[in-house]
Structure 1
Amino acid sequence: MPTKTTPNRQQTHLAVLIDADNAPAAIVEGLFEEIAKYGIASVKRIYGDWTQPQLGKWKQVLLDHSIQPIQQFAYTKGKNATDSALIIDAMDLLYTRRFDGFCLVSSDSDFTRLAARLREEGLTVYGFGEEKTPKPFVSACDKFIYTEILRADAELPSELTEAGQPQEPRPAPKPKAQRVPLDFIAKVLDDIADDEDDWVQLGALGQNISKLRPAFDPRLYGFKKLSDLIKAQPKRFELQARGGGGGGRDLYARNLKTNKG
């Protein structure tokens, strides 16, 4: 009998563009682990003036992660020319029509219009930046991940003792957990809930939350997944597992304060 073959799932191809002046090298491991959740990083480029010493830490990790450095000299002292180089490359890559999305790694609001323009073409834009990133850039992305989350499990560089011996690497400090936006989550549940029983499939809840708040991430509140966050609020929300297609189990949530049953 002929062997039954499983059709290959279509891969999501992403272009990763990093602003080296506005992104710390300490995020590199977590960055590409996070990007792998959304697709394949087909292009990986990083922009900066590589003659400057402040990019030294990035130089140490470029080869390990196969990131292509793009040299951009500063034409005028105090002016950042890398933004323009990144934007021009992004538009060139856009018009190749080979990508499904872009990952813009920077805390600089100058990329706000670029993110919006890429989305106008129907591409998904993932932003990565520090919590200081201006809100317009965050809102211009489909999904925005704060890099403090990505650094939580990283190790700080080892330091030398007085005798010149290296010390054990120190874990980077974890970001302080924020207050869970219970009212916001409850409102989203109420808005999309079925009128009959108020239950909402968890995947649909997560998608609608991201549309309204691109930077929403359960890890900001001390939880690994959205299901963990919902489960930790038994007085406000209820979580239920139901049989899904193919023998799997789907998770559903509802807002207890508006439940009439």
Structure 2
Amino acid sequence: MDDVASRGMVLLGCGRMGSAMLKGWLDGGLNPRAVTVITPNPSDWLRETGVHVNAPLPADPAIVLLAVKPQKMDEALPQLKSLGNGNTVFLSVAAGITLARYEEILGAQTPIVRAMPNTPSAIGRGITGIVGNGHATQAHMDLAQSLLEAVGQVVRVADETQLRALTAISGCGPAYVFHLIETMAKAGEGAGLAPDVALQLARATVAGAGALAETASEDPAQLRINVTSPGGVTAEALRVLMDEETGFPPLLERAVAAAIKRDKELSA
């Protein structure tokens, strides 16, 4: 982060994800005057942070964070082309845009890191996968990771193709969990609970179980066994959920495969 403090950084786009990361950096002690934000509609909060907003770009920033929507990238990137093919690393959190495409726009010698965060990053509980191109050094990867850790955990994948699987698990995963909460609440209503009580039970159960799974020394399979008395009510429910043909395992396999297939189609 010393490099960012001395050379500065550029944040292109400051929506929900960009704002969450910026807040994490500033809360962590980053000087707001080291940050230049380029955004068409700056919020009152952004203006009050003390960062440079829509100001001239620093000559040689340590890093440029690309946080605009994927469909806006081709329109937004050309204004940063002068920073390509140099010492500035570009970090993108946009889905679906390949490293090769960024190299086409910014220059083949540009250090680029792709990142795939998920929506819990907005509350500092996310997890992000990262991968760099051939010009991204260990120092570039370390810098990208340190910045992304402001909003949660970071993992590095071996190559860009693995981002598809990561997207299908952690990028799309929050939607799977939200749907689980929906369906648990609906099942609770069907069993006679009041809607608000069923929803409260489903939300708290998923949140509590997730927190336990993250902090416990046992793996999820053992945690499941710990809750399941042989021949009991949980065991009977799991008999349905773990069915090899109709239960969770084949259903999630099909869901993940469908997500990966669609990601390939959108990247083509």
TM-score scaled by length of structure 2 = 0.34
TM-score, normalising length: structure 1: 0.35
